[in-house]
Structures are given as structure tokens and as C-alpha cells.
Chain A
Amino acid sequence: MNAQIPPVAPTVQPVMRTTCPYCGVGCGVLASPDGAGGASIAGDPDHPANFGRLCSKGSALGETLGLETRLLHPMARGRDGRMARADWDTAIGSIAQAFGKTIETHGPDAVAIYLSGQLLTEDYYAANKLAKGFLGTANVDTNSRLCMASSVAGHRRAFGSDTVPGVYADLDEADLVVLIGSNAAWCHPILFRRLEAARAMRGTKLVVIDPRRTATGDEADLFLPVNPGKDTVLFAGLLAWLADHDALDHAYIDAHTTGLADTLAGARAMAPDIAAVARETGVSAADLVQFYTLFATHERAVTCYSQGVNQSAQGTDKVNAIINVHLATGRIGRPGMGPFSLTGQPNAMGGREVGGLANQLAAHMNFTPVEIDRVRRFWQAPRLAEREGLKAVAMFEAIAAGRIKALWIMGTNPAVSLPRAGAMREALESLDFLVVSENVASNDTLSCRPHLVLPALAWGEKDGTVTNSERRISRQRAFLPPPGEARPDWWAIAQVGRRLGFDEAFAWRSAADVFREHAALSAFENDGSRDFDLSGLAMLDDAAFNIMAPVQWPVRSAGDSADKRFFADGHFFTPDHRARFVTPKPARLARETSTDFPFILNTGRIRDQWHTMTRTGLSPRLGAHLPVPFVEIHPSDATKLGIEHGGLVSLRSAHGSAVVEARLSVGQKRGALFAPIHWSDATSSNARINDLVARITDPVSGQPESKATPVAAMALPVRYRGFVLSRRPVTELPATWWAKVALEGGAGYLTATDLGPEEWKRHTAKILLTSDYAEYVDAPGGVYRAAAFDEAGALTGAVFLSPSGAPASWDGLKALLAARTLSSVGRRNLLSGRGEGQITPRGPLVCACFAVSAPQIEQALASESGADVARLGQLLRAGTNCGSCVPELKKLIRQRAMLDMATITPPA
């Protein structure tokens, strides 16, 4: 590969400004199409979310643009049960007929639509309008329910509206930033870089609160390892401390809020003294006092929170416990202050804005009679839903129970992501009618026997808007033509609406048409009564929509491009315009550990993957960071269970099971485990972590308790470990366990098996798709290796098997899969496991952007003592692009420093 981040060079193709499709930071991207279906990618220096920076995932977007895995035509299940190509007209007709007939027979609540934070606002708007206005059901929910529903609910309880009060610039201007339940260094890397820059500039203090010490925790001035589920106690203690130390803003409280007395009493009951808080939270009294003192003495304080707060059966209470301390100190909506929800998805915010959740109606309006009436009039809707629909988990329970009979899934993979993911599949397969709009041709959800599959546009082809965590609406622009017969989701929805007879309501010709209507609805009879207001954008013509610059809402007048904060003036969107203090319930996990399930399983993301990997999984660079599904466990817990680093572990909950690799980490609390959510049946044999998670939800937000499942862990000894490299996907592996990862030139499979060399030898021809291959067999030593070559002599595939205790590394080999040729020496030595030109063991990749490995960094540090992050950047380029590996670089620097000290200290 050439430079990872090619400069934006002048080309024949125009450079397109668009927005990254990953996390809620919403970074601006410059895409330069190469005219052959690909594009080079760079950060947009003019975008206010990222100012030109991109993280590892964003930087690798260009590697994910191919059409190999794409669905390009509608496919319908025939009478014989097989999927066959269909035309759009037939497809639209069958949806209209299935949904119409189901509603006719079983009522509107027998149909549902399940959406995604990946959709554009326009898609979301169209789906919400069709369901709530014309099908007559509010059974419209989204995978955002799994992501930030608790924030929405917490906002609405406190503010009367789902309003993020602050802006990213608050991170630049704060003196104290508290990150709770957020591994921003990995999950919101660009914001974290921004925070790091502010810390370097003004010495911003960073407090990180998390049950596990992540890359983010490693960077903190103060790290508080809170017990799972006890965040509320920590913040109740803070509220009480602030009251006791005369740190409340009584003027603000009196003028703009209600309910402090009750809430403070509740906080004192929950956190009677520091010792009690320390006991409950597992944080030392000294650290608590330090945190509380920091908060009391730093007015410019921002509290950022993410899935560690939201994904909880008490997520809404946690959100309100955080908001409470900001309301009580009046630290909200002013520069450098406020509670700040960091959303996980690129357009979770857009979905919230259109009302694409079962408990919202539309455009930040709810199911009150006045609002129902208003929306009905605006849409001229014949059959407006008049009550909340089923939230995601309840929706799938209704599917399993047969109450919902027809479902339309768009842009999400619930067979992987929902709690009890395994049971989800059975539910999906039981539907009378399942239609899935997808851009990939296969994933776990598409394996659930849908009746119809519609080809959706992917990033780079879609056109519309997204909203990031700071309420900034940015354009996602198409820079590639629609492939095959893929069409926008809003278009497909509109076609169904029209087929059902609602021509006028679904007459849009473009995304701009949809956006204007969406903006107009936000403005409709608003007059400042609702926070969400795009009056100023409702009249944008197509040309203006095309060049629309990123803008924060509300946009109450045309041309208003200012950044806005909410609530400094104390005007809230409750009936009395006062904010509410909310008293959280006693903090406890929904399910405690037991002798059968002695560990608490936490789940989350890793740095270089996204959701179920249908896109990031295509990038070899991103796959190199953490290539296999794993569980982090404290070394002393591991020792007790006979679990070794890199060994397999079987995880089991009351609902499901998974098999993953063990990673021993002192950052993990004893008794607590962490496993990433990304792997599916498409990428691993048995690592769908959400299969273990219970369907227990927050009573207010409906968000599941994804981060605290009681589980059992057991060492799973296998006799052999190995890997398979292949230019083509491998369908038959004689392995009991495998994980797939993208490699340059093909795919890699890391395997574990009890089958020995002789058995693998019998399968080799099937795996390598040839009977002509080189072999290395040391059967008594438990070693088997094979490799196949093309006519030019280049490697087309390889099989490596070793005893578990001495696994071979593929680092030296995998580069050969992409090579066009192979020297005779290279070929002869290939089965030794050492690749040509890759002789130095490369070890784990640290910097994904420039493919810099840990051994390379260690070598640089060894040869230049005292090298810092900046110097490493000069030497190896590591950390100079996205910077998300900077924490790991620092860790290596610290390790080296300790090693240096050890070597210069004379032995006692």
C-alpha cells in the first residue's frame, strides 16, 4: 500500500465533502473518487467537528468501498424457499400487500419498522411518517434504543425535551472534564484528541469513572474504578457533598428548577457519608474526596457520558443523577460547562429529531392530544398513531409472541445486536412477513429467512443529512453512483406509501424534498415552544441543500449559522419552563451474580471496529488491531480458573453462550469481565456476545442492561490453534472455533480445534480449493501446514495448525496473500511460518493508520531512550494521524522507562 492517507490531490473527479458514517462525533470527510469505484479519504479541515482529523476507522473508509459484499438487486423468497432476484416493482407491491393485509386482519400494531442510527435523517423521517401517519402504528423503533435511549429519557425528564445543552467547544473551554461510562479514547477518538489538546493548552483536569481501566482511564488525572451499576451513588454523593460544601447555585436553582429538596434528600439517603459511598462504589474515600473537591472548585466542568451510563436498567436515573449536579450548580449551557451525552452512532441524533423512536411522535413532539392533532394536520394523515409503540426489546418480544406479524428492518443487524440475540433469530424466522433493507448480501439477520431483501445505498452513495452529538447537522453526500439497483431507503418507503394509495404524502423526488418537509414540520406551529426548530432551513432550494454547510440546530431563521447552547438562560421546555430534579431509585444491578454466574459481563466496542463489522470488517488495517473476539479478565481471576492469556474461554449466562479468547488485564476489576460486541456468526463461530445479555430494560427508556450480565467463565482447552489464509472466503473449516478477519488480498481465519494434523490433512484440498499444494507435516509434533500457489507462483491460501501451547504467528505470512509474486526462497521457507520480507515478527498492530506494530515501537524506544510520543511520530509516523493509539504509545513509553530504570538499578 502507498501512504495510508493520501493528500487530497487535484483530480479529474471533484473532491466531495461528506460526513463519516461511524460514531456520533460526526467528522467531516473529504472523499476523492478514483473513478473506479474507490476513493481516497481525508479529514475535512473546515468541518467544526474534527478540523481535518480522522480516527483509524474513518481513515480506513476507502478500504471499505468495494462492491464484493454488496446486495445489488431486490431478492424475494420463492415458493421453493430460495431467494431469487426480483424487480423493484414487484418488491414494493409485495410489501404494500403484506403490510396492508396484516393491518386489515390484525390491526396496525401487528406491523412494525425497526430502524438504525446509520440511516440518514431523510430515511428516518420517511419511515416514521409512513408508520405513524399512514400505517397507524407507533411500532417504529431503532437500534438507537440500544445506544442512547436513556439519555433521551433523562433529557426529557429534566429538560422537558431531548436537548443536548452543550457544544464540542465546551471541551476546549472546560477546566474539568469528567468522563463516565465512556472509553472516548477508543470510541470517540477525535473528541478525545480535542480534549487532550485542551489539556495540553490549559491543563484541563480529566476524571474518568469506569468499572474498567480503559485506554481512556489510563490518561486520567484521577481514575475512579466504580463498581458496576453504582454510578448513581457516586453522583448522589457528589450532590450531597456540593450541598454540604456550599457549592450549589441557589440563584439558578430557585429561578429555573423544581424538586431539589426531594432530590437532595434522596441523595443523602443514598449517600449518607463518604465512607458509605466508598463502600458502595468501590472507590476509595480519598479518591472520592479528591473528585468531589475538583468538581466543587472547578466551575467550568463538563460531564461526558456514554454507553456505560445509557446501557443500563437504571440508565435514565444515571443520566438524571449527572444532570442533577449540573442543574444544582447552574453549570449548564455556558462555555465549558454542562452534561454531555456522547452518542454512539452517526445519526442517532437525526433519528431522535424526526421522532423515529416508538415513544416519540415526530420532530420532538410527543403523544399529547395537541401534538397528535398538530402532526395529523401537517401530514394530513388518515390514521395517525395516538399512543406510544413498542420499544425495541418489547417489539421483538411481541414478534416472538406472534403479536407483530410483519416487520421491516432497515440498516441494522438485530440478530447480532439485540439482547438474547440467539432467541431473536427464531423470532425473526417466525414472522409472516420480514423485509430487510440492507447493503450487504449476507449477515446474521439476512440468515433469518426474510421474505424480501431490498438493496440499500451505502455510505458514499447516500445523499442526505446526519446530526452529531452536538446537534450539528451535516450533509452526507454521494460521491459514487448507486450500484446495481440499490436505491435510497426514503425512496423505497415512499414507493410503498404511494402503492398504499398515499401519492401526495409521499411525492418526494429527492432527499432535499424530504429534508424541507422535515424542517417544515419542526417549524410548524413552533414559535419557540419546541427546542427542535429548523425554520431557517425549510425553504432551502436544491442548490442550497447541496452546498449546505454544517449547522447547529435550532436554526430559527434563514442564514443562522451560529453555534448555540441551551439553558444558560434557564428556559426549559417543560410546561412551567423549569428544569426538574429527578430522584434516582436505589442503585442496583438488575441481576446480581450468583454461584452459578459469578462474573459480571460488561460489553462494548473496540478501537478499530464498528458494530457488527459489516463495513469495518472489510478493512485489513482495522482488523489488525484486535483480530479475534476476546474477553478481558483480571489475572488473578484467570489463574483461579486456569485461564491463560490467549487461551479460549467459554462464557455462559442464563440465556446464551459464547467462546472467545482470554486477554488478561489488570485494568479489569476482579469479578468483572469485558467482551466486545462486534463479532457475529459471519465473523466468528460462536462469539455473539449479545446472545448472553438478558432482555432486562430500563423502565423509562426501554434500554437494555447490556453491560452487567451475570455470567460464568470457564477455560476451554483445545489441543490445536491455527489459522487459514485464503484469497477466497472459506466455507468449510474443520475447526471447533474460528474468527474471520479481512486481510490484504483475502481473508484470514484464526482457528482452534481438537482435530490434529491427520484430520486437517484430509480437509486441506477443500479449504485451499486445489489438490496441488505444498505441505509441512510434523504429526508427532502436532504441526500441520499447507500452502497453495497460483500460476505465477503467488500465495493463494495457507493452512497452519500448531499445538495450543506453541501457536504459529501469521504476521510474517499474511502480507504474502496480497503479493503478486513470491521468490523461490520465499516459497521454500513459507511453510516455516516466516514470510518473505516480513521476517521480523511484527506483533500486534498499534497504529492502524500507518501499520506500526508494537515490536517496531519497542525497537525505536530501545534505540532512542527518552523518545516521547512526538518523537515516535517523527520516527515511525505512529500516532500522527488519528491519534487513537497515543494512549497505547504512552503505555509502551512507560513500560520502556520502567525497563530502563530496572536495568540501571544495581541489584540489591
Chain B
Amino acid sequence: MSEPLIVIGNGMAAAKFCEELANQGLGRYSVAVIGAEPHLAYNRVLLSSLLAGEVTAGDIELRSRDWWRARGVTLIYGRPAISVDTDQNRVNLADGSSLGFSKLVLATGSHPIRLPIPGMELPGVMTFRDMADVDALLAAAKPGTRAIVIGGGLLGLEAATGIAGAGVQTTVIHLMDRLMERQLDARAGALLRQAVEARGIEVLLGASTAAIAGEGRVEGLRLSDGRLLLADLVIVACGVRPNADLARAAGLDCNRGVIVDDGLATSHPAIHAIGECAEHRGQVYGLVEPAYEHARVLARRLSGKSAAYAGSVTATNLKVSGVHVFSAGDFTGGEGTQDIVLSDPGIGLYRRLILRQDASGTRLIGAVLFGDTADGLFYLDLIRTGRDIGGERADLAFGPNLMTDLKTTEAA
């Protein structure tokens, strides 16, 4: 008799977990996935492409219905879980039904942050987090419409790019003095701003939102310096917070997210958490790669194998507004670190590598790439392995391709 295993959440972490589990120990568990959204799991990273019309909804599905079926996974979507009974080991669904589990995996992801300011409830204020948001945005984005995107991070810029492409007159307002400050250094942020502006999007930095203005519907946005910006749409993309609602309600230890140990276990031995909702060693990740690592580790453990999660060296490897950007590790540098910077504005290239040099050698600890990110994974690997690169310092900024190019040229 298979043990019932329930996954709450039908996002990328959940899909990866199911895949890994199927590879590890097919048959041991009877798996059910409960999703709130009325869709098969899809690639959230590609929502911006969907918004930009580059792909269709079908294109971004992670796995086909047949795939899930072949692995014996019961998909319950469009019916959100509303509570977890940790005494009975049951999950209660919104439709009143409940399911028992021997193992529960929380993969509930994140909520978009909504600002605590007046007017947020007005029609025309939107978020950009899921497929429904995309549909709403596509419906609202008509040529001639004026939109303001609050937030110059990845999501905000993607939303801005998507609706600007649909003919919407778009302004991005950002609280900080540069775009994507959590992923990019100042110079890359400035280059990104140029690239965004080149697409006809206005960018206001250091701009704090005081209120959404409008009567019955969005008519504009008031900045804290008093300026009023007229708009028909406001898209709030100021970031996300872990969705730990169910866990918190169930009495699991939570901080910003659901607290997990190196085995991805929560304070309840039968309950695990992975992905953006999990908080490991005080760290919450908003990226795909750590979520996939969580999924892999947990799948091994639940298959009876040994595995542990020791935290992720995060990397951002994205295409923002048509420009490739990459960052990894400690890209802010500072005291005790060394920078190597390669830039060629003429071809939109910038890369900054952050090194730490001590008696034991020279190691790459961070990297920011703008324009050409093909070598990003090479740098990420160097950051993760902590290999001494002292001997290759001179070639480092030119990536592994230089060596390949050399060989090709010599052979030719």
C-alpha cells in the first residue's frame, strides 16, 4: 500500500519535486498535487513572454496532462487547500473535502506584495504574478492607455516591457536609485535603464508612491513629493513575500517563510516545505534554481536516500526587456574584495567579477553580467566550487569561450 503524499501548490517547485520523486522511488507514494490556479503547472518565468505575446499559454505548460498521468499523480487544481490539520495529518480543501497524508510538502510559493497606501483597492490596480494577472493585463492593455508600473525589479520591468509592447504608454517608478538593485550593481542597473528607455518606457528612480488617485477607478498615481502622474492602469510589482499562510495557521514554525532544516523538514516531522515559501537558515529564495534544488534534495530524502540542502548560491540569469542579465554570489563587492570589470558600451556589454584573494588563493565570489550572459553558468560554477582561479585571472573575464575560440582558430 502506497503512502499518501500531498503536495500543496502546483508551481514550478511542485512539478520538479514530482518529477524527481518519480525518478527516485516510483510506487512508494501515492501523490496528490493540490493547486489553487485552474491550470496545469506552468513556467512562471515565462509569464512575461506570454504577456509580450512571444509565447502562448500552452507553450509555458511545464508538463502535459499525460505526463502527470503516466506518473500516477493526482492533480487537484482550481481547488485551493484552506487548512492543514497537523493532528490528523489531513488537508482541508475549499470545497469542504479533505485528504489524509503521511507526508505533506508545502510548495505554496509567494504572494505579490501590495502597498499599504490609499487607493490600492481601486479598479485598474493590478499585480503581475500569475496567469490570471496576465489575462487581466492583456485585456486592459490597449494602445493609447497610460500605465504606471510600481517597481523596477524583474517583474515590474517584465510587466512594463510586455504592456509597452502592446502600445501602452508606460512609466516605471522605482523607489531605489537604480533598477534591479538586488540583482545588479549600479553600472549594470544604469545600462539596464538605458535599454528599458530605449523601448520607449519612461523610468523614474527614487520615486516613492504616496497614493493611487482616482474616483471609482484608477486615474493616476501621486508620488510622495506631491507630483501626480496620470494613468489608466497601475501595476504593482514591488516584490513578493513567501506564502506561509497555511503553515502559520497550522502552527508550524514560521518566520518570513516556513522554517525548514537541511532536510527541508518543518517543525512537524511529516511536513516539508520547498520553493519560495520555505525559509532555510534565515534565507528565503525568490528564484527557480533554489526551488529545484529543494525539490531534488527532498525527493531523495523521501525515497530513503541521504541528501541534505546546505543553501544555494543564487544566480539571476534572465532576459529583462530583451536584454540578458546575470548576477550571482556577492556582486556588491566592497571591503576585502577585488573587482575585474570588462565593458564595451558599443555592443552593450558589461561584466563585473568580484574576487576574494587570501593566502589560500584567489576565488570568484560574485559576478554581474549584462548583455552577454553566455558565460554565466561558468562563473556560477566557479563561485559554487570556490576553485582557486589565481592562475587564470587574466583570462577570467573573457570566459571559457576564449579557450574554445583559441582552439577553433588554431585548428582552422
Contact = CB atoms under 8 A, between A and B. Distances in A.
Contacts of A779: 338-339
B258 to A, nearest CB: 42
Nearest to B398: A832
B338 A783 contact: no
B406 interface: yes
Given A779-B339, A781-B393, A839-B410, A834 B402 contact: yes
A775 B342 CA distance: 6
A828 B349 contact: yes
Nearest to B397: A776
B344 interface: yes
Contacts of B397: 776, 778, 831-832
A774 B341 contact: no
Contacts of A806: 394
Contacts of A772: 345-346
A839 B412 CA distance: 11
A829 interface: yes
Contacts of A834: 402, 406
A758 to B, nearest CB: 12
Given A777-B339, A840-B410, A828 B345 contact: no
A787 B340 CA distance: 16
Contact of B402 (A780, A783, A829): A829
A863 interface: no
B394 A825 contact: no
A839 B344 contact: no
Nearest to B371: A828
**Size class of B's contact patch?**
20 to 34
B343 interface: yes
Given A778-B393, A828-B372, A832-B395, A839 B345 contact: no
A831 B341 CA distance: 11
B306 interface: no
Contacts of A581: none
Nearest to A832: B398
A776 B372 contact: no
B409 interface: yes
A791 to B, nearest CB: 10
A840 B412 CA distance: 12
Contact of B398 (A777, A783, A828, A840): A828
A781 B402 contact: no
B347 interface: yes
A663 interface: no
A787 B410 CA distance: 24
Contacts of B345: 772, 774
A669 to B, nearest CB: 39
A778 B355 CA distance: 10
A776 B402 contact: no
A774 B393 CA distance: 19
B405 interface: yes
B409 A837 contact: yes
Contacts of B402: 829, 832, 834
A597 B314 CA distance: 64
A824 interface: yes
A795 to B, nearest CB: 11
A897 to B, nearest CB: 27
Interface in B363-412: 372, 393-395, 397-398, 402, 405-406, 409-410
A862 to B, nearest CB: 15
Contacts of B344: 774-775, 787, 827-828, 831
A128 to B, nearest CB: 60
Nearest to A775: B343
A825 B123 CA distance: 50
Given A772-B345, A781-B393, A789-B346, A825 B405 contact: yes
A201 B120 CA distance: 102
Interface in B316-363: 338-347, 349, 355, 357
B409 A831 contact: no
A34 B74 CA distance: 84
A839 B410 CA distance: 7
A181 B357 CA distance: 55
Contacts of B405: 825, 829, 839
Among B344, B346, B393, B394, the one with the most A-chain Cβ atoms within 10 Å of its Cβ is B344
B191 to A, nearest CB: 13
Interface string A780-818: 110100010100010000000000001000000000000
A790 to B, nearest CB: 10
Contacts of B406: 834, 839
Contact of A829 (B340, B355, B398): B398
B339 A776 contact: no
A839 B346 CA distance: 23
B343 A839 contact: no
Given A829-B398, A829-B405, A832-B402, A774 B346 contact: yes
Contacts of A793: 346
Contacts of B357: 780
A778 B398 contact: no
Contacts of B341: 775-778
Contact of A777 (B340, B347, B410): B340
A832 B340 CA distance: 12
A781 B343 contact: no
A416 B3 CA distance: 96
A752 B341 CA distance: 23
Contacts of A832: 394-395, 397-398, 402
Interface in A668-698: none
B270 to A, nearest CB: 52
A774 B346 CA distance: 7
Contacts of A777: 339-342
A617 to B, nearest CB: 32
Interface in A485-508: none
Which residue of B338, B357, B397 has the most chain A CB atoms within 10 A of its CB atom?
B397
B338 A780 contact: yes
A824 B357 CA distance: 32
Contacts of B347: 774, 824, 827-828
Interface string B155-175: 000000000000000000000
A839 B409 contact: yes
A828 B344 CA distance: 8
A743 to B, nearest CB: 22
Nearest to B338: A780
B409 A781 contact: no
Interface string A95-115: 000000000000000000000
Nearest to A824: B347
Nearest to A783: B394
Contacts of B343: 774-776
Contacts of B393: 778, 781
Contacts of B355: 780
A824 B371 CA distance: 13
Nearest to A826: B405
Contacts of A824: 347
B342 A776 contact: yes
Contacts of A776: 340-343, 397
Contacts of A789: 346
B349 A778 contact: no
Contacts of B372: 828
Contacts of A833: 394
Given A828-B344, A832-B397, 19 more contacts: A774-B347, A775-B341, A776-B342, A776-B397, A777-B341, A777-B342, A781-B393, A781-B394, A783-B394, A789-B346, A793-B346, A806-B394, A824-B347, A825-B405, A828-B372, A831-B344, A834-B406, A837-B409, A839-B405
22 contacts: A774-B342, A774-B344, A775-B344, A776-B340, A776-B341, A776-B397, A777-B339, A777-B340, A778-B341, A780-B339, A780-B355, A781-B338, A781-B393, A783-B394, A789-B346, A825-B405, A829-B398, A829-B405, A832-B394, A832-B398, A834-B406, A839-B410
Nearest 5 A/B pairs, CB to CB: A774-B344, A780-B338, A832-B398, A778-B340, A777-B341
Interface of B: 338-347, 349, 355, 357, 372, 393-395, 397-398, 402, 405-406, 409-410
